Amino acid sequence: MNEMDNKWIGKNTIRPDGADKVTGRAEYAADTIMPGMIWGKVLRSPHPHATIKSINTKKAEELDGVFSVATSADCVDFPVDTPVILGIQDIRWMARNVLAKEKVLFHGHPIAAVAARTEEIAEKACELIEVEYDIHPWAIEIDDALKPDAPILHDFIKFDGKPSNIAGTLEHKKGDIEEGFKEADIIIEREFETAAVHQGYLETHACLVSVSPDDRTIIWSSSQGQFMVRAMTSFITGIPQSSIRAIPAEIGGGFGGKTIVYLEPVATILSKKSGRPVKMVMTREEVMRASGPTSGSKSKVKIGAKNNGEITAAQGTFYLQAGAFPGAPIRGAAGCCLAPYDIPNAHTLGYDVVSNRSKVAAYRAPGAPIGAYAVECVLDEVAEALKMCPLEFRLKNAAKEGTKAVHGPTYPVMGYVETLEACLSHPHYKAPLKKLQGRGYASGFWFNAGGESSAQVNITEDGNVVVTTGHPDIGGSRASIANITAELLGIDVNRVSVLIGDTATIGFSNLTGGSRVLFASALVVTESTNQVIDILKDRASKIWNIEKEAIEWENGEARPAGDNAGKFKPLSLVELAEQATPTGGPIGAGHQVNTVGAEGGFATHICDVEVDIELGIARVIRYTAAQDVGKAIHPAYVEGQLQGGVVQGIGWALNEEYIYNKEGKLDNPGFLDYRIPVCSDLPMIDTILVEVPNPQHPQGVRGVGEVPIVPPLSAIANAIYNAIGTRFYSLPMSPPKVLEKISD
């Protein structure tokens, strides 16, 4: 396909789900109701760490208006010594996170749940549940969890042969690290800390579940994967997947935080026991206390370089909080942190540390911002010591096609260098700065993912198109799929309707996550659409009584080609659809495959800040994000991914943090005290879409959603240093911290 001729790919079409979303018609999980519906509420642990000695639900069950009560005794038992792996999750931990079993491991950990006529009655019944605890000391911060006498969360986790809160490690090695540092003329080593931050999706977790007496189950919920909901609910409740129909509601933000279940198995048990549909909606406080967040961290990074700017060695050690159960995103920290660079000798090591916090969930490029923050801040110091421009320094060491990455792969075609060059030639790079203003730079990487996807493309009887895929749309993927389908079929984009199927209406499709959705779904939609075009040619061949091979599909119609050119009047999609029945029946095709070839994404950001030294407020006043996006199918929504990711990074850098009190409880479980960026905090976020097409994809798509949150943490830290000459090694760089450091 000649790109210049594209009618829809690369165009900012109106999103198919847009009208519903601007009128309030879009149905999110909490917007659904069913006849006879009752309400479920969760009883949560008042302690950060305790053994559950007994749970007595009798009084709750006897309260007027209560229909059913659930505890872990109603769940399938998964012994702690046998892993049950589903994707990147272990169902042993998932089950115990959904309803605590032997122990409560964080304040807010679910213990039991009640379904009742109203939410008020369900809440009152929760208070009547009697739980006997054996309270233990707790560990919240990484240092506390790693002390020799630290309270141990899980007796069966051993490290170096001893019970430990270190649940695992991950390591990457390349070359000879000691030799590398010997070659260096300058070596800089620094230690860093970041606070745990929440994904901050605005829609709280919610679901509505109805279970019939024969266990047939319908789940409406907001998640990043209806098939994930089906599988996890099946594991935990014992109801087979074939009996569960999980329907994806519109999702009000996820950012990784909705890649696991919290409520669905609980509501399923409550509905099964009561015979009534059960609705559950978390409050914001419950979301903050018991879902997400991503890890807080401690890290140490050492980088050596020659006077000519060549990096000779790099070493990084990263401790990441997992929360109550193993599973911190150490792969993202240790794997992504050096990925933009060609470094001969390197070693990265990540530690997965459990402590008495809510279990972490994925958050946009999980772990990668933490690793990049430390590395990119040290690189800024190395560049300064070498008296080199930070961008030129990165350019000198940039990974290219053929570079062997520290985390393993040898890179194919990729556009990191292009993002650096785009920044160097952008007006922002040379724009003047005033007093107390500073400029910072940073780069970032995310793996991107492929995985399982299914699609079905059907031609309607009136000659229009319905595309069904299996991935919840969190960033505008339906708009992009409409663009691609319209382009391939040569018809107006408004004739294409794109829907998200439920688990009963479309084949297995893996989670919306890892920046995989458009990469993977475009592959299966393209294949399905090409099959449909083949069928359409076949139908035309029957009508004209000529060979199918002598027909071409162009501009939405079948045309006789070659020797037959001009012999017959072209047949449009509408005309072929009208004759579908006599020519062979319904026209449609589906494709399902495990997609491969998702190549990594790189970005470079420029950030200007202005520091108010009286109030300690660092304010981002200009921001430019350059990213290799492969091919922007819908540029406005690609820009939207970059802008949204950058602003989440700004929140992480400047304000957001989980603050625990002396009792081991989260002290700021709401948007008043957990401050995400608001409109008046920000400037416009400029974007540069660098397009180095992914050769392994029919449209050249690379994932774009995660990379933009990787560079901001360090870009902002480096900008603050440039503004006031003070380096910060701890996030967030919130006003109290900035003031304290300035006054030192």
Partner 1 sequence: MAKIQVKTKINGEETEFLCQPYDTVLDVLRRDLNMTGTKEVCSTGDCGACSITMDGRLVCSCLVLAAETEDKNIETIEGMAKNGNFNVLQKTFLEHAALQCGICTPGMLVAAKSLLEKNTNPTETEIRYWLAGNLCRCTGYDKIVKAVQAAAEEIRENA
Q: How far is the CB of 339 from partner 1 (least distance, A)?
A: 24
Single out the residue of 181, 411, 637, 652 in contact with partner 1 (rule: CB under 8 A): 637
H-helix or E-strand spanning residue 687: strand 685-690
Omega within 30 of 0 (cis) for the link into 582:
no
Give 16 or 560: the residue with its C-beta nearer to partner 1.
16
Give 19 or 73: the residue with its C-beta nearer to partner 1.
19
- The stretch near partner 1 (CB under 8 A) out of 124-132, 312-320, 497-505, 666-674 is 666-674
- The stretch near partner 1 (CB under 8 A) out of 387-395, 422-430, 636-644, 728-736 is 636-644
- Would you tell me the crossing angle of helices 226-237 and 264-274 to the nearest 10 degrees? 50
CB neighbour list of residue 92: distance below 8 Å, 6 or more residues apart: 78, 79, 80, 82, 83, 84
Residue with tokens 């993202």: 332
Give 38 or 546: the residue with its C-beta nearer to partner 1.
38
Give the footprint of partner 1 on residues 31-50 (CB under 8 A).
31, 33
Per the rule left: phi > 0, alpha: psi between -120 and 50, beta: everything else, 707 is alpha
Q: Does 252 bind partner 1 (CB under 8 A)?
A: yes
**First and final C-alpha spacing in the chain:** 62
Q: Does 416 bind partner 1 (CB under 8 A)?
A: no
Q: Does 65 bind partner 1 (CB under 8 A)?
A: no
Give 4 or 22: the residue with its C-beta nearer to partner 1.
22
- Would you tell me the crossing angle of helices 517-544 and 477-489 to the nearest 10 degrees? 30
- Would you tell me the crossing angle of helices 226-237 and 91-98 to the nearest 10 degrees? 80
Q: Phi/psi at 359 (nearest 5 deg)?
A: -60, 130
3-state helix, strand, coil in the chain (%, to 5): 30, 25, 40
Q: How far is the CB of 20 from partner 1 (least distance, A)?
A: 8
Q: How far is the CB of 638 from partner 1 (least distance, A)?
A: 10
- C-alpha to C-alpha distances, 610 to 439, 440, 682, 719, nearest whole angstrom: 9, 11, 12, 9
Give the footprint of partner 1 on residues 268-287 (CB under 8 A).
281, 283-284
Q: Does 706 bind partner 1 (CB under 8 A)?
A: no
Q: Does 250 bind partner 1 (CB under 8 A)?
A: yes
Q: Does 648 bind partner 1 (CB under 8 A)?
A: yes
Omega within 30 of 0 (cis) for the link into 293:
yes
Give 284 or 737: the residue with its C-beta nearer to partner 1.
284
217-221/244-248 β-pairing: parallel
Single out the residue of 2, 4, 5, 23 in contact with partner 1 (rule: CB under 8 A): 23
Residue with tokens 């299966």: 524
Q: Does 684 bind partner 1 (CB under 8 A)?
A: yes
For residue 439, which amino acid is it?
R
Please state, in angstroms and rounded to a whole number, the distance separating the CA atoms of residues 674 and 461.
52
Please state, in angstroms and rounded to a whole number, the distance separating the CA atoms of residues 98 and 17.
32
Q: How far is the CB of 153 from partner 1 (least distance, A)?
A: 31
How long is the chain?
744
Q: How far is the CB of 704 from partner 1 (least distance, A)?
A: 13
The interface mask with partner 1, positions 176-215, x = CB under 8 A, is -----------------------xxxxxx-----------
Single out the residue of 30, 228, 333, 484 in contact with partner 1 (rule: CB under 8 A): 30
Give the footprint of partner 1 on residues 432-491 (CB under 8 A).
474-476
Q: Does 671 bind partner 1 (CB under 8 A)?
A: yes
Q: How far is the CB of 628 from partner 1 (least distance, A)?
A: 20
Single out the residue of 24, 427, 566, 725 in contact with partner 1 (rule: CB under 8 A): 24
Please state, in angstroms and rounded to a whole number, the distance separating the CA atoms of residues 238 and 346.
46
Q: Are 186 and 386 in contact (CB under 8 A)?
A: yes
- The stretch near partner 1 (CB under 8 A) out of 13-21, 185-193, 233-241, 505-513 is 13-21
Please state, in angstroms and rounded to a whole number, the distance separating the CA atoms of residues 301 and 717.
16
Please state, in angstroms and rounded to a whole number, the distance separating the CA atoms of residues 54 and 250.
39
Q: Does 644 bind partner 1 (CB under 8 A)?
A: yes
Single out the residue of 251, 336, 365, 580 in contact with partner 1 (rule: CB under 8 A): 251
588-595/601-612 β-pairing: unpaired
Q: Does 321 bind partner 1 (CB under 8 A)?
A: no
Q: How far is the CB of 281 from partner 1 (least distance, A)?
A: 8
Please state, in angstroms and rounded to a whole number, the distance separating the CA atoms of residues 376 and 394.
10
Single out the residue of 368, 646, 689, 716 in contact with partner 1 (rule: CB under 8 A): 646
206-211/186-194 β-pairing: unpaired
Give 637 or 728: the residue with its C-beta nearer to partner 1.
637
Q: Does 64 bind partner 1 (CB under 8 A)?
A: no
Interface positions with partner 1 (CB under 8 A): 12, 14-15, 17-28, 30-31, 33, 199-204, 250-255, 281, 283-284, 474-476, 634, 636-637, 639-640, 643-648, 670-672, 676-682, 684-685
